[in-house]
Copies of this chain bind each other. A is one copy, B any other.
Amino acid sequence: MSGRRLPAEPGELASRIRAGEVRAIARGLTWIEAGGLRAEGLLEALYPHRSTAHVIGITGAPGTGKSTLVRALAREARARGRSVAIVAVDPSSPFSGGALLGDRIRMTDLAHDPGVFIRSMATRGALGGLCPAAGGAVDLLSAAGRDLVLLETVGVGQDEVDVMRLAQTTLVLSVPGLGDDIQMLKAGIIEIADIHVVNKADREGADRTIASLRAMLSMGEAAAGGWQPPVLACVATRDEGTAAVLDEAGRHLAHLVESGEIVRRKRRIAEARVLTLAQGLLAGTLDRSTGTEDAEMAAAIDRVASGDESPYRCARALLARTSRAEGDSPRA
């Protein structure tokens, strides 16, 4: 199968992706990163065929061992016979195209298992705002039949919180002694954590970190749907406690389904996807205006720059123009 040429037509590539062909998946993700009509055609073809993949988001400050935990979770899931995709997302910069290469290399013990697909992506738009690539990647991997999608981010910031909106279950990592509790609170990450994981729990101060997380959580409101975020300890480098983390993620998904909370969560994911895509279309229109493709829009921006037109009026023009242009464009 791997010897066959990959199709250049979205519908055909979609078929090969649905069959789970790894090269087709990789090609599809490249299309999605590039964006545009080809990406859209592909995802239109795949969207109705998404499976019930469990999407687990993993976030935490640098140095908390996210990649190590992700790798341990992937190994554990494979041992249980489940297929896995790992998407490592760097939303921090439009400049870091080669983001997370180090993580990819560190994951080489999994690299030869076709049951584990690994990809890193930079998802930041040049004009600011998250690119829709991460959401598209999750949809594609779900349509490809992966049982588990592990969505890892590089740090803890608002962009990471936005990425975590794509997950059904969000793990937030901390480690003893990093003193990042305040940083986490700042970024609003506590509010999105379904499961807290204290990694490197063999270090001094682990009990204190666990206790302070629990104390903080006990002060918060009861989570939506009655889920009380647990605090788990593990040592990911030694695979200690990581099976329990995977178990707990499974319990969280089951809870979402049983409580009916899954409906709200799917709606939240849908909202994030739709808004990101629409914002991306706006940025695309603006981006074309900086070239010579759209002299009218370029002139409007110049009028704003010189103070002859308010940015509000121009923002409306941008919306109208994007809406018109997108309504006219061919569908795949």
Could you tell me which A residues sit within 8 Å of B by CB distance?
40, 43-44, 47-48, 50, 91-96, 124, 127-130, 135, 154-155, 157-159, 161-162, 165, 186-188, 191, 263, 266-267, 269-279, 281-283, 286, 290, 301-302, 304-308, 310-316, 318-320, 322-323, 326-327
Contact = CB atoms under 8 A, between A and B. Distances in A.
A66 to B, nearest CB: 15
Nearest to A62: B183
Contacts of A155: 157
Nearest to A127: B275
A288 to B, nearest CB: 12
A217 to B, nearest CB: 15
> Lowest 7 A-B CB distances belong to which pairs?
A277-B315, A270-B304, A270-B305, A278-B315, A93-B188, A273-B311, A266-B305
A279 B127 CA distance: 12
A311 B140 CA distance: 13
Contacts of A162: 128
B91 A314 contact: no
A318 B186 CA distance: 31
Nearest to A183: B62
Contacts of A267: 301-302, 305
Contact of A319 (B186, B281, B306): B281
A112 to B, nearest CB: 30
**What is the copy number of this chain in the assembly?**
2
Contacts of A311: 43, 47, 135, 270, 273-274, 277
Nearest to A300: B274
Given A95-B191, A128-B272, 4 more contacts: A40-B312, A128-B162, A128-B276, A274-B304
Nearest to A41: B312
Contact of A93 (B186, B266, B276): B186
Given A128-B158, A278-B282, A278-B315, A304 B273 contact: yes
A311 B278 CA distance: 9
A100 to B, nearest CB: 11
Contact of A91 (B158, B316, B322): B158
Contact of A157 (B159, B191, B316): B159
A127 B92 CA distance: 18
A316 to B, nearest CB: 5
A94 B161 CA distance: 11
B318 A326 contact: no
Contacts of A302: 267, 270
A285 to B, nearest CB: 9
Nearest to A332: B312
A327 B320 contact: yes
Given A270-B311, A305-B267, A318 B278 contact: yes
A186 B128 contact: no
A57 B41 CA distance: 41
